[in-house]
Structure 1
Amino acid sequence: MTTQQYPWPNGKRACISLTMDNMGEAADLNRGLWPKDKPIGSHFSVTEKLPLMLDILDKYHLPATYFVEGWNCPIYSDTIKHVQSRGHEIGFHAYQHEVWKNLDAETEIGNLNKSVEGAEAIGVHYKGFRPPGGLVTERTLNLMKQKGMNYLSPAADRPALVDGVAMVPFQWESIDAYFYMASTAALRKGKGDTEEPLSPQVLKDRLFRRIDEVVGEGGYLALLFHPFLQTEDEKLKVMEEVLEHLASKKENTWLAQCKDVANWIHENPGAFGNDPGWDKAEWKKN
C-alpha cells in the first residue's frame, strides 16, 4: 500500500489521526443481540475500558476523534460530555450502528435527524460522520451538509474533497476490528489475510510499519481502536505501545483530530483532488 505526499500545516511531513468508534450497547440493540431483560447504560466498554483509553491518550498528549452512535447521547450523556471536556472530538456514527449504505431514504433522513437533535441537546455539534460499513448512499453528502457537517470518514484510500465535503478516510487494515473480530473474516480473506482472527502482536507489528510508511511518504492515516475490543490486558497494552510509537513521530507528523484535517482539506482543495479511492469491500459475512 502506498500513499501520496500532501502539504501539511507547519511543514509537517505527514498527518495521522487517532480515532475510536462505537459506544456501549447501541450496535447490539440494533442487531437484536442485547438481552431484553438486561439494563442499559452501564456497558463494560464505557465503564471499564474507555476510562483506561482516555488515560493513555492523556499520557501521550494525543487528541482523538470518537465516533459515537446518536442513541448514546441521552443514555451516556455524562460520558460523552466528559470525553469532549478532555479535549477530544465527538463525531457521528449513525443512530445504532446501522450499515449506512443500505438505508432507504426515509430511514436515512430519520436516523440523521434524531441523532443530530439528540447530540445538540447535550452540547455536541457533529462536524463529521464515519458511516458504519464504510460507505454511504447517493443522498448522504447533501444531507450531511444540511446538518452542518463538513467531512465524511469513509473506507477509502486518500483524503479528498467531494461535492463540498472533505473525505478524511480510514483503511480497514488500520483498525483493530480487522484483526480481532471473527465477523470480519470475509474482509480479511478479501485482502489476502487468514480468515482466522489475528493476534495483538500482529496488529502491533503492522500498525508500527504502517505508521512508519505514512510518515516516510508524507500521506494520511487514521488509526482506529474500539473500546469494546480492549477485552484483554494484552490488547490494551498493544494499543498503548502503538500510541507511544505514534507520539514519537510528533516532530515531523501532524497528529490531528479529524475535524482539523477536514478544515485543512477545505482550505487546500487543489492539493487533495476529488477522488478518495472508495473501498467497496464488504466488512463482514452476511
Structure 2
Amino acid sequence: MAEISYSNIDHFTVAYRIENPAQEETIFFIHGNSCSSRSWYNQIKSEALSGYRLIAIDLPNHGNSQAIDPSKFSLEVMAAIVGSAIRKLAQDKPFIICALSLGTNIIAELLDGSITPKGLLFAGTCIMGEGFEMAKLVNKSANLEALFTDEVSEDKVVDYFNIASCSKNEQDKAIIAEDFFAVKNNFRPLLYGVLTAGLFKDEVKLVAQKGCPVCIVYGEEEKIINTGYLKDAPINLWNKTIYTIPSAGHFVNIDAPAAFNELLAGFALDMF
C-alpha cells in the first residue's frame, strides 16, 4: 500500500496516502470512526481504479494525523481541517469523494461553496438532519458502545468488528483493531458528547443543496444503519437507486472489495 505522506494545513498535520499521483482525475477516500486510511487498501491497490489519482486521508485524531486539542473539538473543526486538506491536495484537478460511515458526516459537514466535488459516494451512510435523526438511522439492536468510549477491551473491538463486517480475513480484523487503539485525545467520548448534544449541522440539507450526484451504498448484511432511512431524502441520488452489495456489512468496501470497486469505478466514469 502507498506510504504515508504529510501536509501542513493551517499548522495542523494531516496524513494521507496517494496512489497514481500522475493521474488528473482524483478520488478522495474518507474513513469512518476509529479507522484510518489503511481501511481503503483494497481500493488503493485496485486495478479497476488505477486510472485515477487516489488519495486516502487520515481523519484528525486517527492514523498518522495530528489530534485536535480536546478543548476545541467539534465536528465543525474536524470538517474544516478535512475540507482544507481536500482543497490543497486536489490541486485544482476534478475530484469525487468516497466516504464511509462517520466519514459521510464529515464530508456533509464541509460542503460549502469552496468544495466542488463532481460527485459523492457514501458507503454505510449515516448523515443526519431534520427528519433524519439518529434515532431513525441507527439499528437499535446493534451494540455500538465501543465506538464512543476509550475504556474498551480488544475483545469488545473484535465484537464490534463482527457486527460491522462479514470479513473472515484476519488481516482485516488486525488492521481495524490496531487503528481503533491508535485513536488519540479521547476522540470517541468527545464524539459521543457532540452527537448527544446535537452539535451538528443539517447534513442531509447540505448534501441536497450541493446538488451533485450522490451514490449511496450499503452491504446487504448491514447491522448498524437502517438502510432505507434516506429513501425519501431530497438528494440527487445517482440512478435514483440506493445500492446494496451482497455478502457485505457496514464495512462494505472491506467485505466485498471487488463489487464495491466496480460500483465506484462506474460512478467515477459517469462523474468525470
Q: TM-score, normalised by structure 1?
A: 0.30
What is the TM-score with the length of structure 2 in the denominator? 0.31
- Rg larger in structure: 1
| Structure ranking higher in helix proportion | 1
